[in-house]
Chains A and B, each alone.
Chain A
Amino acid sequence: MTFDPQIPEELASYSHDDDGTAASKQFLIREGLLVRPLGSALSQYRSGLDGVANSRASSWNRAPIDRMANLNIEPGDQPLEQMIGHIEHGILMSTNRSWSIDDARNKFQFGCEWGQLIENGELRGVVKNPNYRGISAQFWRNLSAVGDRSTFQVLGTPNCGKGEPNQVIRVGHASPACVFSKIDVFGGDA
């Protein structure tokens, strides 16, 4: 997982953050281990840890604070067809429409507008409003495949809120398709 401010079409790409620190691509998690947290120059000074150039203000009327910027998952080595082909029973989640997570970023739930059932390695029909929930550490330990660059999409949101006084800001999330096992999935009437 990387902090990457250098993908031109991604929402939070920039050369310097709002403290004036030069921004460059950095691995945050490499091969499953946290190697560097998010944290701008001031946070690096206070914590004694390495960080990234992520001090950002939403506008002239708000002070810069540590924010996400472009937070990406690096591509793996499998095309989508191969990943689906290895799934006996699952859901292809698409079009996220709902998100909720606790303040420790631990217990999460996401809802999608649309999905497809996967049976014996093949896509089978539409699934409406599939939701999934879990606990972050367990969820990421259940990551079983990462899609290659052909599955990689640059996404993000223009209105991520945080801070006091409140600030709404653009964040980018680029990611390949990923496969997770043992996920609690439910639908409209669960």
Chain B
Amino acid sequence: MTRTADQAQPFKALVQWLKDALRETEQFTLSYAAEASEFIRFNHAKVRQAGQVQQASVHFKLIDNGRHADLSITLSNDPEVDRQRLADGLQQLRETLPLLPADPYLMLNHTHWQSHHVQDQPLPGSEQVVEEIGRAGAGLDLVGIYAAGPISRGFASSGGAFGWHQANSFNFDFSLFHENGEAVKASYAGHAWDSQAFALRFQQAREQLEFLGRPLRTLAPGQYRAYLAPAALEEIIGMLAWGGFSAQSIASKHSPLQKLYAGDAALNPLVSLDEQVSGSLSPAFSDEGYPRSDLSLIAAGSANAQLINSRSAAEYGLTTNGAGSGEYPSALNMAAGQLSQQEILKQLGTGLYISNLWYLNYSDLPAARLTGMTRFATFWVENGEIQAPVSTMRFDDSVYSLLGSQLEALTEQRELLLSASTYGQRQTASMHLPGALVSRLTLTL
């Protein structure tokens, strides 16, 4: 499936119509999201369910004399119908605005910034993908989902700002189950499907599956040395992304990293974390209309920049740096360490090799203490050699320990992990992370 047409034209037409329809004191922002996605779900390495979703919508904010109101409009891809829906929306917002008070925290960007990014790398046909997955998984209990197609994001304002982001991508997120119920989880994602790279990724998962056939080791609760593979670390960093760097959360003391940002706690000097927008898969502009820039969030274990959107800037006297309405990072990049892939098991010595973590949540948010499960491909290692898979265990530990006092090393090789999230729409977030060797991980159950 390949769609390379310039999808910006229908959006530009709506923007132009809106500019012409505007009254003298009115302003607007219009953000756009669209995708043409193919979803193929696999059971037992065979297609269980296949479908396509084409959707497009705009989020429309009308501003007049400090008052503003928003609505979302589903687009039909018929120019006349969509123009009428926008006209109806404009009328509805005009009727709503007089009922609202002025917003003291409204801060519009009046610059005429322009941003344009189109990546139209052809994607493979679904027949090819299904054939390769079926061949690789023949005889295996493979479950997973392949999601692929173009994603578009746009932004325009009455002030003349315009941003367009369009990219083709695919993400095959899968698990291989052993007959004993244990599973390996892996993914193959990107812009260009490479049959050899996919086969290699699949082979790595298959090799881990063989270890899962050994008798399960049941561990007692306690403290263990552990290696967290990049996909496991992604779960931990993903929890920190949930308000951790948000200026609003930090100011209102809801951030799990409030102690770090207050200077009352530090992470290990090995830890440096950037929001690396440039060259990433996410748009270079926010949904509220500010260009995004690269930011150092944590430098050598200490807090650095926060993610500040315009409302937080207005409320807390800060300067916005292009964060979106939720102040979430979407292109996190963690500095690599010096531990080579070949040395991971040797340096771990005796302890846990954890490929993935699952269902994390906070046990104590102000202390950045997390709980969650080992789920996929967690192994007991002795003297640098994998001995046995470990039955599912719950951990409960603080980020200030795991990425602070107990962090021994980060790997020199990092993995680019593309978000497989498809809530509402396919996401464009990513993380570029190393693996982490920790001297103490607390298992509780």
Contacts and interface: CB of A to CB of B under 8 A. Distances in A.
Interface of A: 59, 61, 63, 97-104, 106-107, 109, 111, 129, 131, 133-135, 161, 164-168, 184, 187-189
29 contacts: A61-B55, A63-B51, A98-B363, A99-B361, A100-B359, A101-B359, A102-B375, A103-B375, A106-B392, A107-B373, A107-B392, A109-B361, A109-B363, A109-B396, A111-B364, A135-B445, A161-B423, A164-B144, A164-B145, A164-B173, A164-B422, A165-B53, A165-B422, A166-B421, A166-B422, A166-B423, A167-B423, A187-B364, A189-B367
Contacts of B37: 165
B55 A102 contact: no
Contacts of B147: 165
Interface in B371-393: 371-373, 375, 392-393
A129 B359 contact: no
A106 to B, nearest CB: 7
B39 A165 contact: yes
Nearest to B51: A63
Contacts of A109: 361, 363, 371, 394, 396, 444-445
Contacts of B396: 109
Given A109-B394, A111-B361, A133-B394, A100 B422 contact: no
Among B41, B173, B360, B422, residue most surrounded by chain A Cβ atoms (within 10 Å): B422
Given A164-B173, A164-B422, A188-B367, A102 B392 contact: yes
A187 B373 CA distance: 19
Pick the 9 closest A-B CB pairs, nearest first. Answer: A165-B422, A164-B145, A166-B423, A100-B361, A102-B373, A98-B361, A166-B422, A61-B53, A188-B364
Contacts of B423: 161, 166-168
A102 B41 contact: no
A133 to B, nearest CB: 6
B444 A103 contact: no
B424 A168 contact: yes
B358 interface: yes
Interface residues of B: mostly helix, strand, loop or mixed? strand
Contact of A131 (B360, B363, B372): B363
Interface size class of B (residues with CB under 8 A): 35 or more
A102 B145 contact: no
B362 interface: yes
Contacts of B369: 188
A168 B371 CA distance: 23
Contacts of B9: none
B49 A129 contact: no
A112 B358 CA distance: 20
Nearest to A61: B53
A59 B423 CA distance: 11
Given A109-B363, A109-B394, A188-B367, A103 B422 contact: no
Nearest to B359: A100
A133 B361 CA distance: 13
Interface string B21-49: 00000000000000001010100000001
Given A165-B147, A165-B422, A107 B394 contact: yes
A52 B372 CA distance: 31
A184 B221 CA distance: 13
Contacts of A184: 445
A134 B360 CA distance: 16
A161 B420 CA distance: 14
Contacts of B39: 164-165
A165 B426 CA distance: 9
A108 to B, nearest CB: 8
A99 B358 CA distance: 12
Nearest to A59: B424
Given A107-B445, A133-B444, A100 B145 contact: no
B180 to A, nearest CB: 13
